[in-house]
């Protein structure tokens, strides 16, 4: 890891007067649907497009941190300390490789946070404060995109992510029960909008692990589009073994095998996301 050209916290210096960065929570309470793979590869693709990107790992398992080369031994300062001690994000942030991709890593003690915070009044707003109010130079001023990788549960960590986010991006695996669980997630998003974060919007739904040899994948994709219309991104992420191999080399798929179908799909997803954002801002 290197951190040349950065301030003492290892993050890029804020640029005065610029628009604040977009905070995107990657959420779905189901495990194994592609949240972490999307956080890593969408983050890498946005960084390769010239954006400054921060990935905030909120999953106690820390798969996004490990997959980006920040092993458990390097996670002595983590998002746990940001949430519990109010430590600035810049203090825990590390750079991943040569990309303009930075990581606020997770650590296993995040798993106990629910009990630790049982009667703390601002317990749902800790991440929001860290991303938006922290000092003269909050992370939202330093990064174009802040991507939060959520754990597979609608717990306090996910609530912190949704309370801090501008938008939610939902990875949906192309399998039979894809739409089950989505109702519950959408209900949680509504509650957060009412109680904690009225500005929260849907970024979109991304179909993941699409298998073109399997009719079920095509049926599920069609069904999801019929039900959810334009919210569903045009880009579909295929099932691609290179994406699942990449984390064991501590690299995003985009660097491990830039030309595989999975890497191409994540570059397309980043392009679609930036186009949709530009249209949103212009509207």
Ligand X SMILES: Nc1ncnc2c1ncn2[C@@H]1O[C@H](COP(=O)(O)OP(=O)(O)O)[C@@H](O)[C@H]1O
Q: Which residues of this chain interact with ligand X, rule CB under 6 A?
A: 31-37, 63, 152, 208-209, 237, 239-240, 243-244, 262
* Binding segment toward Mg ion, per CB under 5 A, in 34-42, 77-85, 93-101, 259-267: 34-42
Closer to ligand X by Cβ: residue 11 or 260: 260
Stretch that binds Mg ion, among 28-36, 171-179, 234-242, 259-267 (CB under 5 A): 28-36
Which of Mg ion, ligand X, none interacts with 244 (beta carbon under 5 to 8 A by kind)? ligand X
Least Å distance, CB 256 to Mg ion, is 18
Least Cβ distance, residue 59 to Mg ion (angstroms): 5
Binding residues among 97-136 for Mg ion as defined by CB under 5 A: none
Task: Compute the radius of gyration of the chain from its Cα atoms.
Answer: 18
139 binds, among Mg ion, ligand X, none (CB under 5 to 8 A by kind): none
List beta partners, residue 206.
171
* Best CA proximity match to 181, nearest among 205, 163, 198: 205
Phi, psi of 70 (to 5 degrees): -110, 90
End-to-end CA distance of the chain: 40
- Rounded Cα distance, 273 and 28, in Å: 18
Question: Please, are residues 243 and 253 in contact by the beta-carbon 8 Å criterion?
Answer: yes
- Give CA separation, 277 vs 111, 165, 188, 201, in Å: 33, 15, 24, 12
- Residue from 28, 29, 36, 235 binding Mg ion (CB under 5 A): 36
State in angstroms the smallest separation of the CB of 44 from ligand X: 14
CB distance 94 to 55 below 8 Å: no
Contacts of 233 (CB under 8 A, 6+ apart): 204, 205, 206, 207, 269, 272, 273
We find the least distance from the C-beta atom of residue 10 to Mg ion, in angstroms, to be 23
Given the rule CB under 5 A, which of 57-65, 76-84, 196-204, 273-281 is the region that contacts Mg ion? 57-65
Query: Which is nearer to Mg ion, 55 or 164 (by Cβ)?
Result: 55
Which token pair is 39?
Answer: 């956080």
**Of 15-23, 61-69, 124-132, 186-194, which segment contacts Mg ion by CB under 5 A?**
61-69
Q: Which listed option, ligand X, Mg ion, none, makes contact with residue 37 (CB within 5 to 8 Å by class)?
A: ligand X
Q: Binding Mg ion by CB under 5 A: which of 30, 35, 126, 267?
A: 35
Cα separation values, 114 from 120, 159, 198, Å: 10, 11, 23
**Least distance in angstroms from the C-beta of 46 to ligand X:** 17
Contact footprint for Mg ion (CB under 5 A): 35-36, 63
């Amino acid at each position: 890891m290197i951190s040349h050209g950065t301030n003492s916290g290892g993050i890029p210096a804020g640029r005065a007067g610029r628009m604040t960065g977009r905070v995107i929570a990657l959420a779905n309470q189901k495990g194994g649907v592609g949240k972490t793979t999307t956080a890593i590869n969408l983050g890498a693709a946005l960084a390769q497009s010239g954006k400054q990107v921060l990935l905030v790992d909120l999953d106690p398992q820390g798969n996004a941190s490990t997959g980006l080369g920040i092993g458990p031994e390097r996670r002595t300062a983590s998002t746990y300390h940001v949430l519990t001690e109010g430590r600035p994000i810049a203090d825990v942030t590390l750079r991943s490789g040569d990309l303009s991709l930075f990581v606020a890593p997770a650590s296993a003690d995040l798993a106990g946070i629910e009990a630790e915070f049982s009667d703390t009044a601002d317990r749902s707003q800790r991440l929001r404060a860290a991303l938006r109010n922290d000092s003269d130079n909050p992370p939202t001023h330093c990064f174009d995109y802040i991507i939060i990788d959520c754990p597979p549960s609608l717990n306090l960590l996910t609530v912190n992510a949704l309370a801090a986010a501008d938008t939610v991006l939902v990875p949906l695996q192309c399998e039979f029960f894809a739409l089950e669980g989505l109702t519950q997630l959408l209900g949680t998003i509504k509650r957060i909008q009412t109680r904690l974060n009225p500005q929260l919007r849907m970024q979109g739904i991304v179909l993941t692990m699409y298998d073109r040899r399997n009719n079920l994948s095509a049926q599920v994709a069609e069904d999801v589009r019929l039900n959810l219309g334009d919210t569903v991104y045009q880009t579909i992420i295929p099932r691609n073994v290179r994406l699942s191999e990449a984390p064991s080399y501590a690299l995003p798929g985009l660097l491990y095998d830039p030309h595989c179908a999975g890497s191409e799909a994540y570059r397309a997803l980043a392009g679609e996301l930036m186009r949709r954002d530009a249209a949103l801002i212009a509207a």
